[in-house]
Structure 1
Amino acid sequence: MVDLLRKVVRRLRNRDARAARAAKAAKAAAKAATARASSQLEAGAWGAACESYREALRVNGGKKTSRYALAKALQRRYLVPFEVDGDTVVPIPAEAAEAAFTEALFELQAVVDTDPKRVRATYFLGRHFEHGGRYVEAAQTYQLALTRLETVDEPWGHSSRLAWMFRRDWVAQLLNADPDADPRLLRSTEAAEALPGGPSPDVAGFIDATVTHKGLAVTGFVLADRGDDIDIHLDGRFLVRVTADPGKRLHNFGITLTHRVLDEFPSRARLTAFTDTAGLVSKGGAEAIIVDVPDGSGKLPVLLDDGYRVNKKGRLSEPGAEAADHGPRYFRAYRRVHAVFAEKLGKPLFLVYGTLLGCYRDGALIPGDDDFDVAYLCAATDPKGVKDETMDVMAALIAAGFDVRIAIDGRPFHLGVDGVGIDVNPLWQYQERVFGFTGHALAREDLAAVTPLDVGEVTVDVPRGAEAFLRDTYGPDWRTPAPGFRYYRSDADLKELRKARLTPSEVRRFAERVEELRRDNPGAGRFLGYAVPDNPDFE
């Protein structure tokens, strides 16, 4: 009897061991398939990536993460009219795009129906319905996403709420036209007529444009070796240059033309994009995107003739002579804030980013640059400590009479000083990198000491490692102006940066703290909360 029991126990153990080995092998196979799919996506091989994600689904039992990843890969296949096979651009047939749309809908619906915590997947499903012209379902799904978002206390929650509300209202306007609606809801885009035969093998990349709560979001990618500077044209006229991110095999780019720029658009215009090698195409292989702005003034060509330009942030910059008049106001505001940092906080306040670049390289602010970037070095060296320290700094500045707000994504912070805005960047070292607006391969010592710099008749502080900072931020050619330069942050850096952003509940608690401070200090400034799209300083 004892021998029999021992045999049974051995058989059970062997069965469990085989099951564990099988589970381990399946997990490894799913991980390998997912890694392969990610690499294929980066190369523009949408079809191959989809097949790899399907393989991961087959071996991992249909995990929601794999379903969601597959749906996002399928979106590329139905939105982008071509894919890349090695070095060859291959048009995607219309029937293949339709099949990808249907499959993506099935996978997304499965995720949304079974996991209410997948809040962003719910919004993505709404976008999917909208792309397919299924506006009733899109509006319903956007509302579901907003309802589920109410349970989220993450830095991205506030900005997502604004974006998702706009999408819901924009779709609702399509379903029930209201001539008295917010004019922004009447603005729209559509792909122009497609060329027969699909995209040329020499196409430079893909471009899309969507009206959002911020403005016209123009996004896309260019293929490797086909140029990184994208010139965007409106009705055949140059509008703005955007530099793509060269960090991956597909060089992504993006810019949002604010609604204040769209105010001056013609009522209907054609938007096109080119690199120095070829043009970009949009959905269906179209070479242009039609932008409808029914309330547009049509004054943009005249403004451009008068010297206005669209800057890298998608805003209208004044002609150089008028912009130069802001310089003294910025420097006076900087000196006021600098004094508070020195006297009340015991910290030097120094120039960074575009302000440092212009003053150090050119001895002046960059013409058309519409912000003033400064920074201080945090004592804290972890994201949680940085948040606590930053809120203490903001409270001290409010007590000194300055107005403070944070960016829409919870990133601190912006000062209002005598009618101009100062962007203050807390810098901190964490795991051998320095973080601020982006991540830097610098040491704390590069920023711990400052040195005076004369800019005209004004003296400012700059980090002693100014050239190392500029080289890390703008590259080895930082001395050569690059008007289309944009910041592109790595996924790893963004993961750390987001940890130092304020959540909605933290913003509410800080607002309560400021109200108590103001009761005891009538001369205190205000906490203005989040930036809003209608604010001219919004970004």
Structure 2
Amino acid sequence: MTDPLFSASITPVSQTDISPAPGVFQVQIGYLGLRLSGILNQKAELPPPERISLEADGLSLRKETLRFDKGTAQFRCRVSRPLLVRLAPDTLLEARIDSLGHPLHDARLPAPGGGSGWRLTLPHAIGGMAEEIARYGPVEKKGHLTPDAAMLQERQAGYLELYDALRAVFERDLNRPLFILYGTLLGQVRAQDFIPGDDDFDVGYPSRATRPEAVRREAIEIMCTLAEQGFVIVLNASGRPFRVRSADGPVWCHLDNRPVFTPGDGHVWLHKQARLPLHLADFEDSEEAVLRGRKVLRPLRPEAFLEAYYGPEWRVPDPGYSNTARPVPKMVTRGLSRICLSGREQQELAKRYPGRIIPERWQPLYPLADYAESLGF
């Protein structure tokens, strides 16, 4: 069976006489779906606009909050492969500034060449995106629609069950805590619950190593222990350690795990691309808390972590928040890339633990059903 995306095409709209916003809007189509990204430059004489709306034939798929750094804001989001079929066979994609009262409100970011957007052709698409968004809400940060309330409750209960099992292994066999982080911690601190619509579960553990290469070796040992205990480990295309799920659980029920370490520079380092002015001791000596009536562990000073990562406004809910376009210093990117596994290391682990350690970059793309069963989309 031929992949239907082989027949898809994406081309910039011809130049028009619109008055574009200062920046550029890019669209790329790939195996996992669409990638929409762009850069917006702030005009010196104007305040920064608040949001960008990513639209298909005028329908807002997702609104992203803009965060300017030195006069520039970046944004990036996905539309996952399963969701693409709900677009029209011929679709105009645009990035529109959504800031009522701002002089640039409704202005479009130009595609390369000066047009107002991109023309996407998907012969296999059947439409119905407006009805899907009306039912489930906007496209979430990872490119999917948020599950309905019943499915979301089922998934969050599954995450908590998996967390209980994984935390027990970390405490019993690895002698260290497994604590919640990022959006999972944010929801717990705000309301002892998940953030509304949250469909993932972030955790971490304290590393006993100080050099990135040693952190990587330690992570490999931990992954091997978990594989031997019956868990499935997934490594993304960069080899970043690591996503984990149970061998008999659904592919969606996984935890995003990562080591937290310090090289002795007064900061903790952790994926995704974070270097925060915090002490590792706050993670080594975690504390008990409650998330939806269940025991979880969290860093000793959770508010300090949230402010260091999200900023001073972390207490205010922001449905348009996304960390995908946060500016990251090259020093941090380079340092954290050194804890990612090499291609050879990934291949060796996959051979040693077939079906238990799955590197995304070495997983065959076809048949589509097999790829989705192993990794999802």
Shorter-normalised TM range: 0.7 to 0.9
Give the TM-score normalised by the residue count of structure 2. 0.86
Unaligned runs of 5+ in 1: 1-179, 516-524
1:186-225 aligned within 5 A: 186-196=7-17, 200=19, 203-224=21-42, 225=47
Q: Which amino acid aligns with 2:9?
A: S
Within 2, Cα distance between the matches of 1:245 and 1:410?
28
Which one of 122, 129, 135 corresponds to residue 306 of structure 1?
Answer: 135
Structure 2 SS opposite 1:207: strand
8 Å Cα contact 1:241/1:312 also seen in 2: no
Unaligned runs of 5+ in 2: 366-370
Within 1, Cα distance between the matches of 2:153 and 2:23?
37
Displacement, 1:310? Answer: 0.8
Within 1, Cα distance between the matches of 2:22 and 2:234?
40
Within 2, Cα distance between the matches of 1:386 and 1:303?
43
| Paired position in structure 1 for 2:368 | none
Which one of 51, 58, 69 corresponds to residue 229 of structure 1?
Answer: 51
Deviation string, structure 1 residues 496-538 (Cα, Å, up to 9, x no partner) = 11011001011122234436xxxxxxxxx71122266754856
Tell me, yes or no, if structure 1 residue 459 matches structure 2 residue 290: no
Q: 1:535 to 1:473 in 2, by over 3 A?
A: farther
Which one of 77, 81, 84 corresponds to residue 255 of structure 1?
Answer: 77
Q: Which amino acid aligns with 1:433?
A: H
Displacement, 1:285? Answer: 1.7
Displacement, 1:480? Answer: 1.0
Q: 1:280 to 1:295 in 2, by over 3 A?
A: same
The runs of at least 4 consecutive aligned structure 1 residues that moved more than 6 Å come to none
Q: Which amino acid aligns with 1:323?
A: L
8 Å Cα contact 2:206/2:260 also seen in 1: yes
Q: Which amino acid aligns with 1:284?
A: G
| Paired position in structure 2 for 1:286 | 115
8 Å Cα contact 1:222/1:228 also seen in 2: no
Deviation string, structure 1 residues 367-402 (Cα, Å, up to 9, x no partner) = 332221110000001110001100010111111111
| Paired position in structure 2 for 1:426 | 259
Report sequence identity in percent.
27
| Paired position in structure 2 for 1:526 | 356
1:3-152 aligned within 5 A: none
| Paired position in structure 1 for 2:6 | 185
Q: Which amino acid aligns with 1:375?
A: G
Give the TM-score normalised by the residue count of structure 1. 0.61
Q: Which amino acid aligns with 1:345?
A: L
Structure 2 SS opposite 1:325: helix
Tell me which structure has the larger Cα radius of gyration: 1
Q: Which amino acid aligns with 2:335?
A: E
Within 2, Cα distance between the matches of 1:490 and 1:184?
35
What value does the CA root-mean-square deviation take over the aligned residues? 2.1
Within 1, Cα distance between the matches of 2:50 and 2:25?
13
Q: 1:185 to 1:226 in 2, by over 3 A?
A: farther
Q: Which amino acid aligns with 2:238?
A: D
Larger RCO: 1 or 2 (CA < 8 Å, sep 6+): 2
Within 2, Cα distance between the matches of 1:449 and 1:257?
39
Q: 1:490 to 1:258 in 2, by over 3 A?
A: farther
Within 2, Cα distance between the matches of 1:412 and 1:190?
36
8 Å Cα contact 1:242/1:312 also seen in 2: no
Within 2, Cα distance between the matches of 1:395 and 1:320?
36
Within 2, Cα distance between the matches of 1:406 and 1:496?
18
